[in-house]
Amino acid sequence: MKITELDEPEYMTLAPSAEKFISVWADMACKWSVNRTVAEVHALFYLSAEPLSAEDVSTLLSVSRSNVSASLRELEGLGLISPVHIRGERRQYFETKKSLWEAFRIIVDDHKRRVIDPAISVFHSCLEVQEHTVPEDTHTLERMRDVVFFFDTMIPLYDQLRRLPSDPIQNLFKVTATIKDLLN
């Protein structure tokens, strides 16, 4: 990302394509129940070639400093950004993980913990209640069993996939793309 900086930070600007990228990244993240500003800040860090300070982020995204600070705390808590020491600077700078696989894994893990795991627990309870109170409703019983089976099967598969190092995953993506190109 090319950030133009003149004498003062308020002259820092983003290219229109970077602004659009950040906006679409945030739109996508909002559909995953991620706060829009948090997503915008993460996208900005992902595009940035250099570490950024909270002031840089506030200026580039036209977001209040307090909102940026809250977003930085959330991203740091998730492990998506980390502080970077720059010799001679008093301001704190941050950078993000550049591996999309690692960022994706962190976001999915958080979503799984906050949304999917509690839902799975309720699905198991509902199935148990259904089996003991209305077993003659076989259609509902089978549908509930299907959902429980799906998650009970997929979660261990996801757990195995998430433990893989990013290099083999990226190689798998490249092989898949090559096969797709060959078939077209």
List the domains of the chain with CATH numbers.
Answer: 9-96 (1.10.10.10), 100-183 (no CATH)
pLDDT at 2: 47
Tell me the pLDDT tens digit for each residue of 160-182.
888 877 777 777 777 887 888 88
3-state secondary structure of 166: helix
Can you read off the two tokens belonging to residue 63?
């977001």
Place of tokens 């099967």: 153
pLDDT at 1: 47
pLDDT at 10: 45
- What global pTM score does this model have? 0.76
Phi, psi (deg, nearest 5) at residue 164: -70, 140
Strand ranges of the sheet holding 52-53, from the earlier edge strand across to the other edge: 52-53, 93-96, 81-84
Looking at residue 115, what DSSP letter applies? Answer: I
Can you read off the two tokens belonging to residue 46?
């992902």
pLDDT at 153: 95
Beta strands in the chain (DSSP E): 52-53, 81-84, 93-96
Q: Give the residue with greater pLDDT, 184 vs 35.
A: 35
CA-nearest of 12, 54, 16, 51 to 37 is 54
Chain-centroid distance, C-alpha 109 = 9
**Residues whose CB is less than 8 angstroms from the CB of residue 20 and which lie 6 or more positions away in sequence, other chains included:** none
Cα 82 to Cα 85: distance, rounded to the nearest angstrom: 10
CB 148 within 8 A of CB 124: yes
pLDDT at 132 over 60: yes
pLDDT at 42 over 90: yes
CB 150 within 8 A of CB 158: no
pLDDT at 6: 39
Name the band, by pLDDT with cuts 50, 70 and 90, for residue 95.
very high
